[in-house]
A = this chain, B = another copy of it.
Amino acid sequence: MGGIFDTGLDRTAANHAPLTPLGFLERAAFVYPEHPAVIHGRVRRNWRQTYDRCRQLASALNRSGIGKGDTVAAMLPNTPEMLEAHFGVPMAGAVLNALNIRLDADTIRFMLKHGEARALLVDREFSGVIREAVSGLERPPLLIDVNDPELGSDDAASELDYEAFIAGGDPDFHWQPPADEWDAIALNYTSGTTGDPKGVVYHHRGAYLNAVSNQMVWAMGHHPVYLWTLPMFHCNGWCFPWTITACVGTHVCLRKVEPVKILELIREHQVTHFCGAPIVLNGLLNAPDEAKAWLDHPVQAMTAGAAPPAKVIGAVEDMGIAITHVYGLTEVYGPVTVCAWHGEWDQLPLEQRARVKARQGVRYPMLEGLMVADPETLEPVPDDGETMGEIFMRGNTVMKGYLKNPAATDKAFKGGWFHTGDLAVRHPDGYVEIKDRLKDIIISGGENISTIEVEDVLYRHPAVLEAAVVAKPDEKWGETPCAFVTLRDGQEATEQDIITFCREHLAHFKAPRKVVFGELPKTSTGKIQKFNLREQAKQL
């Protein structure tokens, strides 16, 4: 059966090539060498220059003995060097580990060690935390200092300057695509609700496909101007470093999410697209009216996870910003579902429109499977908009797996589907809507906060007997951590004491904003009833 089509028709160098997003850069530089590729402060670079710098970075890494399968970490905000790392590192055959710049030294140390980083690009804003992080390492990575004039700091973590480093590389470096499209391109650590962070491994095939899928879903067209409001360390900027390059667009860099600055850049560079957590949109709304009035061309915003409330959607749309709602996780290269819009929904009243827009929607064209099903049996739930089940995904934009953690990988892929841990319903039209999280993760300003991590710190406080942390809804941040604490008999502590203690032991954004003292509600078997606490936190 099928014999004639399988005979003498094999893969050859002529008709098979590994899928990789790296080729998009070569094409952009070849076809539109003069087109603006990167804007950052006063820096302007076209695609030829950007390609040359990426090749120099790749070449310099190789010359430093870093190559196939080695990890190169980056502690960088959204600067041109961070974009260059997304190409230069894999062009060297290496794997990019973009670190969350808000993390503390201990967590970073863990990641550098676990990921076996051979080199680390450091922006001067983070010299202190990186010095501390690497101090305890047996084999510290090669530190490369990135001196961003937009920061203007004297505090270098290393004497090896990025510009000097890449100057030692060949701008004509003859990079090789990966031998196999299954080869790793990036490593991204999840915050991890329990235990240590897990290292999510991406491959070239998935990065390529999700980059293209973004472009399809968002109908981006040629030469978009993209503002980097979304951190590139989040799922590699949802693959947009590769998407924008595939579209031969322009990357407008941004160190910090500052609403007035964002509006300024949107106007100045005629930005067409940006992504971000709802908090970014919120920020724009709170900008002075004068700055808001600068928007005089249509802008597209993609936002993820919890969609903003109707009020925010309406106000943002009034500013001329159209919102596309997507959903994803670190394990799936960023967004892989979209609330695909139907023209007729434009006629709905704002409240209803916002309710529809809040759905996580349907699969991206390049995610092959999406279902809401029983977490144990994987039996799909009815499309009734009421029955809750776990969201499952399968396809080429699901991670390679967790680094050095086959048990976690097997668990995540049990039954041939990726278990998202998110609980949702499926509406009669097939659109998925998240209702709750299996895990109790808190999302604050777009950052995941593990409640267990915060609880661990609380338990270390000498006066604390019991503690539980849940999300408290917050207009600005989406959610903030709220702690419920029972003190030990005869011990005393104020709310401020507890918060200060947590800030000493955690990244500040993870510290509770609110502490409530008293008994904790429990089930008959002694488990703390978090859903009950969440209800209480809502009322506070």
Q: Which residues of A contact B (CB under 8 A)?
A: 1-17, 19, 23-24, 27, 30-32, 67-70, 93, 95, 116, 177, 182-184, 187, 201, 206, 212, 215-216, 219-222, 246-247, 340, 342, 362-363, 365, 368-369, 393-396, 398-401, 403-406, 409, 412-413, 416-418, 430
Evaluate contact between B368 and A23: CB separation under 8 angstroms.
yes
Chain B neighbourhood of A395, CB < 8 A: 15, 17
Please tell me which one of the listed residues B31, B212, B406 contacts residue A216 in the complex, with CB atoms under 8 A apart. B212
Closest B residue, CB atoms, query A184? B5
The answer to whether A416 and B12 touch (CB under 8 A), given A1-B69, A368-B17, is yes
Main SS of chain A's interface residues?
loop
The answer to whether A67 and B1 touch (CB under 8 A), given A212-B216, A222-B219, A246-B216, is yes
Report the minimal beta-carbon distance from A403 to chain B, rounded to whole angstroms: 6
Report the minimal beta-carbon distance from A101 to chain B, rounded to whole angstroms: 24
With the chains together, A362 CA to B28 CA distance in Å?
11
Chain B neighbourhood of A8, CB < 8 A: 401, 404-406, 409
With the chains together, A215 CA to B246 CA distance in Å?
13
Chain B neighbourhood of A412, CB < 8 A: 14
Chain B neighbourhood of A362, CB < 8 A: 27, 30-31
The 10 closest A-B pairs by CB, nearest first: A2-B69, A13-B416, A8-B406, A5-B184, A219-B221, A14-B413, A15-B398, A17-B368, A9-B401, A9-B400
25 contacts between A and B (CB under 8 A): A2-B69, A2-B70, A2-B93, A5-B95, A5-B183, A5-B403, A9-B201, A9-B400, A9-B403, A9-B409, A10-B401, A11-B182, A14-B418, A15-B395, A15-B401, A15-B413, A16-B396, A23-B365, A23-B368, A27-B362, A31-B362, A32-B340, A32-B342, A219-B220, A219-B221
Chain B neighbourhood of A30, CB < 8 A: 362, 430
Report the minimal beta-carbon distance from A243 to chain B, rounded to whole angstroms: 11
* Further 16 A-B residue pairs, CB within 8 A, beyond A5-B400, A14-B417, A17-B394: A2-B70, A2-B184, A4-B403, A5-B183, A5-B187, A5-B201, A9-B403, A14-B413, A14-B416, A15-B206, A15-B400, A16-B396, A17-B368, A27-B365, A32-B342, A212-B216
Chain B neighbourhood of A24, CB < 8 A: 365
Closest B residue, CB atoms, query A94? B2
Chain B neighbourhood of A182, CB < 8 A: 11
With the chains together, A323 CA to B12 CA distance in Å?
35
Report the minimal beta-carbon distance from A121 to chain B, rounded to whole angstroms: 19
Report the minimal beta-carbon distance from A342 to chain B, rounded to whole angstroms: 7
Closest B residue, CB atoms, query A13? B416
Chain B neighbourhood of A187, CB < 8 A: 5
Chain B neighbourhood of A342, CB < 8 A: 32
With the chains together, A6 CA to B178 CA distance in Å?
13
Report the minimal beta-carbon distance from A408 to chain B, rounded to whole angstroms: 10
Evaluate contact between B4 and A116: CB separation under 8 angstroms.
yes
Chain B neighbourhood of A70, CB < 8 A: 1-2
Chain B neighbourhood of A221, CB < 8 A: 219, 221
Chain B neighbourhood of A14, CB < 8 A: 393-394, 398, 412-413, 416-418
Closest B residue, CB atoms, query A221? B219
Evaluate contact between B9 and A396: CB separation under 8 angstroms.
no
The answer to whether A69 and B5 touch (CB under 8 A), given A182-B11, A400-B15, is yes
Chain B neighbourhood of A6, CB < 8 A: 69, 183-184
Chain B neighbourhood of A27, CB < 8 A: 362-363, 365
Evaluate contact between A216 and B219: CB separation under 8 angstroms.
no
Closest B residue, CB atoms, query A332? B15
Chain B neighbourhood of A17, CB < 8 A: 368-369, 394-396
Evaluate contact between B394 and A2: CB separation under 8 angstroms.
no
Report the minimal beta-carbon distance from A193 to chain B, rounded to whole angstroms: 20
Report the minimal beta-carbon distance from A25 to chain B, rounded to whole angstroms: 11
The answer to whether A3 and B69 touch (CB under 8 A), given A15-B400, A362-B27, is yes
With the chains together, A534 CA to B412 CA distance in Å?
66
Closest B residue, CB atoms, query A206? B15
The answer to whether A13 and B116 touch (CB under 8 A), given A69-B6, A212-B212, is no
Choose among A221, A340, A365, A405 the residue with the greatest number of B CB atoms under 10 Å from its CB.
Answer: A365
Evaluate contact between B413 and A12: CB separation under 8 angstroms.
yes
With the chains together, A321 CA to B209 CA distance in Å?
32
Evaluate contact between A418 and B116: CB separation under 8 angstroms.
no
With the chains together, A215 CA to B213 CA distance in Å?
11
With the chains together, A241 CA to B178 CA distance in Å?
31
The answer to whether A68 and B2 touch (CB under 8 A), given A14-B416, A15-B398, A23-B368, is yes
With the chains together, A182 CA to B219 CA distance in Å?
28
Closest B residue, CB atoms, query A115? B4
Report the minimal beta-carbon distance from A117 to chain B, rounded to whole angstroms: 11
Report the minimal beta-carbon distance from A49 to chain B, rounded to whole angstroms: 17
Report the minimal beta-carbon distance from A13 to chain B, rounded to whole angstroms: 3
